[in-house]
Chain A
Amino acid sequence: MDGMNAADYLLKLERDMTGGFLHLLVLEYVQRLEPIHGYGLIRGMEEAQAPGQWKEGTVYPLLAALEKEGLVKSRWGRPGRGARRKYYETTPAGREIRDLAILKWQRLRARLDTILEDPE
């Protein structure tokens, strides 16, 4: 391959694919762990071995984007005597979108599987 070796290309492909479903992944984990702050969410995703090539830093912008869309809401709080944190939880719209997005994903994956498993 010119310019990029196979490993690099596959890594980029995986990142692009992850970017496609990372919104859903974050929304899913917020709903599972809510109310949860960003650091706790990421730690939860890592411990659960959430799939894809993603960096911790990309989760926060996603949370901000989801909040702007009204899919999650946030508030600053202080857990016990610890440092203040920004806590996230899903909104009803977020939960509805999450359900619909899962359906959408399942359909896409099914069609993709069909194509990839049966090229002819």
Chain B
Amino acid sequence: MNPIIHDYLTDIRRRLSHLGLRERDAVLEEIRLHLESEVARLHSEDTSLSKDEAALQATNSFGDPEEIGVAYGAPGGVINRTTGEMLLEVALLTTRAAGRGIRGTLKWTGIILAIILGISLILVLAALVFADNVIDTFQDDIRENTPRPLYDYNGEWTGYPEAHTETTSDSFQIRDGMRDFTISFDIRPDASTAGSGCAQIMLTSPGGSVVYDSGTDCDADSRTLTFSEKGTWTVQYTYVAFQGQVDVDAYYFEDVSRQS
């Protein structure tokens, strides 16, 4: 079917919606036959006329679809639709409106999501910056509170002839960048042996002060002390026929504030 005629008939069909389906189809078929006959006649009378031009003339001669609809009983200028068609149209409009609603919702959802994403991104970046500071802070804290080996002394002597008798000294340095240090002394005479001898440990500060002296009473001793004075610290061990164990461990802590 010629597209011009097709569109024209479609227009008329819309205006005949007040008719029953069978009656409407019959009317449209009759009009279609008329138009095709007219196109054929016009074309035969003037072969230079294209099919479209002929179709246009034929439809123009046939009349305005709206007037034709009215002539078939449609209310003048108002399309009389069947309830089904009205419901269909309402459904279509509703669907379109719903479609617009969904599209609108999707659009705004997208915008909101984009905003949320943007804010989240900013927050994440801020959190990273903050976290970096936090990590730095913790790093400092960790550095500041991590004990680092400074000095270590271990000795174990059993019965004679291994029992230890001598006086020795060690030293270690507390330098800038070292906040303080903790030193533990652990003197454990062999309790299973009578007359296990003595072990005396003395810690002397850089200024010459003896800050720890385990004494000469030859008893076991365990002590942990903390100092911060910079300089050379000296540890003196005096053994007199000592049987047992001696452990001395020192750890220092960084002075982060000075380093930063």
Q: Which residues of A contact B (CB under 8 A)?
A: 37-39, 42, 55-58, 60-62, 64, 83-86
Contact = CB atoms under 8 A, between A and B. Distances in A.
B43 to A, nearest CB: 15
A56 B33 contact: no
B21 to A, nearest CB: 15
Interface stretch (B59-67, B118-126, B228-236): B59-67
A57 B67 CA distance: 9
Given A39-B37, A62-B71, A57 B30 contact: no
Contact of A38 (B30, B67, B73): B30
B33 A57 contact: no
Interface of B: 26-27, 30-31, 33-34, 36-38, 61-64, 67-68, 71-73
Contact of A60 (B34, B37, B73): B34
Contact of A56 (B26, B36, B62): B62
A39 B71 contact: no
A11 to B, nearest CB: 14
B33 A58 contact: no
Contacts of A60: 27, 30-31, 34, 68
A56 B67 contact: no
Given A42-B34, A64-B72, A83-B33, A55 B67 contact: yes
Contacts of A38: 30, 33-34
Q: Mostly helix, strand, loop or mixed at chain B's interface? A: helix
A55 B30 contact: no
A42 B67 CA distance: 18
Contact of B30 (A58, A62, A86): A86
A85 B64 CA distance: 23
A47 B37 CA distance: 16
B19 to A, nearest CB: 9
B63 A56 contact: yes
Contacts, number: 48
A109 B115 CA distance: 81
A61 B26 contact: no
Contacts of A56: 34, 38, 61-63
A61 B19 CA distance: 12
Nearest to A63: B30
A39 B72 contact: no
Nearest to A46: B61
B63 A58 contact: yes
Which of B30, B31, B61 has the most chain A CB atoms closer than 10 A to its own CB?
B30
B38 A58 contact: no
Contacts of A84: 33
Residue in B34, B36, B38, B68 with the greatest tally of chain A CB atoms within 10 Å = B34
Contacts of B67: 55, 57-58
Given A64-B27, A86-B26, A58 B68 contact: yes
Nearest to A68: B73
A56 B61 CA distance: 6
Given A38-B30, A56-B34, A60-B27, 14 more contacts: A38-B34, A39-B33, A39-B38, A42-B34, A55-B62, A55-B67, A56-B61, A56-B62, A57-B67, A58-B63, A58-B68, A60-B68, A61-B71, A83-B36
